[in-house]
A and B are shown apart, each in its own frame.
Chain A
């Protein structure tokens, strides 16, 4: 049973550029979560999918952020017109059911110059 995978592991971009991250959850997990972690802090919830349905978006997720999970399998997180404040670790997690243990991927470290 493979774990959660994320791609890319690292991304450096210039301010104003668009970036897209991918997350592949554990295969039988139909719940998928995105979190953001800034330096010296714990992860903060961004958004949540049950299968292909996006059920909640945090207020942290501005209009420049969009997440999809088109077939209920992998998910993408896109940030448009990146800003330096978007620099963070973006973590994806999955669980079998809501309210169960969430298993995290290795994260994508984003640096916006």
Chain B
């Protein structure tokens, strides 16, 4: 079984600044995948970035990067140069990569990011 913890219910950032959203996870699986999704007020879950547990490099996708610290079981999302459109809920999620149930994503409770002009 997997567990995701997001300890920041809400975060504020000034436009054009960088922000880090925290995510810690717990799993007994040796191989797993970590995801970040963005959910605007419209409700759609938008895939942002993926990190495999055996990937040696931290994942990056444009302004998004994932700070993966395997020993600490953390997978923080870094958003550089924040934009007003980044205001949304952000969810960290995972599944065990090679388990029979690797179709089930386990989500955290999310962090509400507000970008101030």
A29 contacts across to B, CB distance below 8 A = none
Q: What is the interface of chain A mostly: helix, strand, loop, or mixed?
A: strand
**Interface residue A45 (Cβ < 8 Å from any Cβ of B):** yes
Chain B residues contacting A28 (CB-CB under 8 Å) are: none
Contact call B44/A45, Cβ cutoff below 8 A: no
Check B35–A109 contact: CB distance below 8 A.
no
Q: Which B residues lie within 8 Å of A65 (CB)? A: none
Residue B110 contacts which of A42, A55, A93, A106 (CB distance < 8 angstroms)? Answer: A42
A72 at the interface (CB under 8 A from B): no
Once the chains are docked, how many angstroms separate the CA of A43 from the CA of B98?
A: 22
**How far, in Å, is B32 (CB) from chain A's closest CB?**
10
Beta-carbon nearest neighbor of B31 in chain A: A99
> How many angstroms between the C-alpha atoms of A98 and B99 in the bound complex?
10
B103-A98 in contact (CB<8A)? yes
Q: Which residues 30-77 of A sit at the B interface, judged by CB distance below 8 A?
A: 31, 33, 35, 40-45, 48, 55-56
